Chain A
Amino acid sequence: MRKRPGIGAIHKQRVEQERFRGKATELQDNVFEQMTNQMEKFRTNLETFASKHRNEIKKNPAFRKQFQDMCASIGVDPLASSKGFWSELLGVGDFYYEIAVQVIEVCLATSPRNGGLITLGELRQRLIKARGKAQHHQEISNDDIIRAIKKLKVLGPGFSIVSLKGTQDTSDILIRSIPGELSADHTEVLKAAEAQSFTSVKALKSTLNWDDVRCLQILNELLRDGVAWVDEQSPEKMYWFPSFFKPLMSEDEIVLPPPN
């Protein structure tokens, strides 16, 4: 007769299993502890790095971006609060807060003209112009502006970032400062109109392969939103977009109050 495992054997098995599980947990704990130590080391190194390169981070937008990416990769957000270690170390929190406030001001000032839709390029130009001498050595990049706006988005639905090319390439980004999402169709029309700052039903039909009805509907919605104006003195009705209209960008009128 084959020998069946006896109670002793089962018991022994169980003890061994326990020992294995214990070991596994111990291993797990070990790994976890090691990871935590690593993170701590990493974080300390990052802090040391940040304080050593503080000036560089403040002055150089490319360097600043790399630093931000580094932080993000280990889950550290220097912008999370305007108080605390990071902002004190770098004054970075204030830096972005200030940009965010100025972005709001520029958008408010220009929205009567462009229906609350401004290109990132124009926004940056106006910010730089308005920031004045005191801050001129703190160069701001498109990336800085986008980060500041993303912080704003956390506060409410007022701001959205519209990418015309679906990439993070900042040359085709629009900032919308009026609530309400732009539909994909709206974005297609904006894309089509961007180069010359105008378009027409005919042009849209050929570029996007839409029918008359769809073209007209979207264009009328953009008219209704104040983003487009109509010109009836050309052979075909033309729809113009102040957001892309170059001469508008060289207007010197808009002046922001100096920061405190």
Chain B
Amino acid sequence: MEFSWPWEYDFPPFFTLQPNLDTLRKQLEAWRKLVLDYCRHNKIFVLDVQESISLFQNKAIDRQLSTEGINRVLESLLEYNQIEWCDKAKKQCLVYWKNPQEWGNLIYRYASDKGMTNTVCTFYELTAGDDVQNEEFAGMDQSLLVKALKTLEATNKAEIIMFGGNEGVKFF
């Protein structure tokens, strides 16, 4: 199904940082939502800022968000805990269209539904195995998976294990 762009995307001023503070607030909120919705739709767990330039421009109306604008949007996403930088250079970020806790809960539900508690399963199985293909967390970036599992560890629902060079997790 094709991604449905919000009305703002076709609105030229959307690509100019608004001088009026209230309007700017609405604008940033709309950009945050666009980024999250877009990533959710396309199963993007990690956003590369350079590569995602097309998200911040609309060729059809010949408008694009300036570098400053893009930075403002990213700052706003960070402020709302909707992204987390992967590197100090701020080239890539994890996009939390679900946050680690939500992912943890989803994965745990999957594991208990499949009767996988008290057995060990590898990270690979969880993200790339045949069984998980229809799950939302299929193809999940490993660093995000670890964060998700760590939230489960905090509530004693799982334990991350290293065995024989493989990383895995045991659910309780």
A residues adjacent to B (C-beta < 8 A): 112-113, 198, 223-224, 226, 229-234, 238, 240, 242, 245, 247-248, 251
Contact = CB atoms under 8 A, between A and B. Distances in A.
Contacts of A112: 26
Max chain A Cβ within 10 angstroms of own Cβ: one of B7, B13, B15, B64 = B13
A230 B18 contact: yes
Interface in B1-59: 7, 10-16, 18-20, 22-23, 26-27
Nearest to A252: B4
Contact of B7 (A224, A231, A248): A248
B63 interface: yes
B12 A231 contact: yes
B19 A245 contact: no
B7 A232 contact: no
B22 A242 contact: no
A239 to B, nearest CB: 8
B23 A223 contact: yes
Nearest to B14: A229
Contacts of A230: 13, 16, 18-19
B22 A226 contact: yes
Given A245-B7, A251-B7, A233 B19 contact: no
A238 B11 contact: no
Contacts of B62: 233
Contact of B20 (A226, A242, A245): A226
6 contacts: A229-B16, A231-B15, A231-B16, A231-B63, A233-B16, A247-B7
Interface residues of B, number: 18
B19 A242 contact: no
B20 A232 contact: no
Nearest to A232: B16
Given A112-B26, A226-B22, A233 B7 contact: no
B16 A224 contact: no
A251 B64 CA distance: 23
| 8 shortest interchain CB distances as A-B pairs | A229-B13, A231-B12, A231-B13, A232-B16, A248-B7, A240-B13, A247-B7, A223-B20
A234 B26 CA distance: 22
Interface in B62-103: 62-64
Max chain B Cβ within 10 angstroms of own Cβ: one of A226, A233, A234, A248 = A233
A245 B13 CA distance: 12
A225 to B, nearest CB: 8
A81 to B, nearest CB: 39
Given A224-B20, A247-B10, A248-B7, A233 B15 contact: yes
A198 B13 CA distance: 10
A230 B26 CA distance: 14
Given A223-B19, A223-B20, A229 B11 contact: yes
A106 to B, nearest CB: 16
A234 B20 contact: no
A234 B14 CA distance: 13
B32 to A, nearest CB: 14
Nearest to B16: A232
Given A232-B16, A233-B16, A242-B11, 11 more contacts: A223-B18, A223-B19, A224-B20, A229-B13, A229-B16, A230-B18, A233-B12, A233-B64, A240-B12, A245-B7, A247-B7
Contacts of B19: 223, 230
B97 to A, nearest CB: 18
Nearest to A112: B26
B23 A229 contact: yes
Contacts of B18: 223, 229-230
Contacts of B7: 113, 245, 247-248, 251
A234 B12 contact: yes
A223 B63 CA distance: 20
Nearest to B26: A112
Contacts of B15: 231, 233
B95 to A, nearest CB: 22
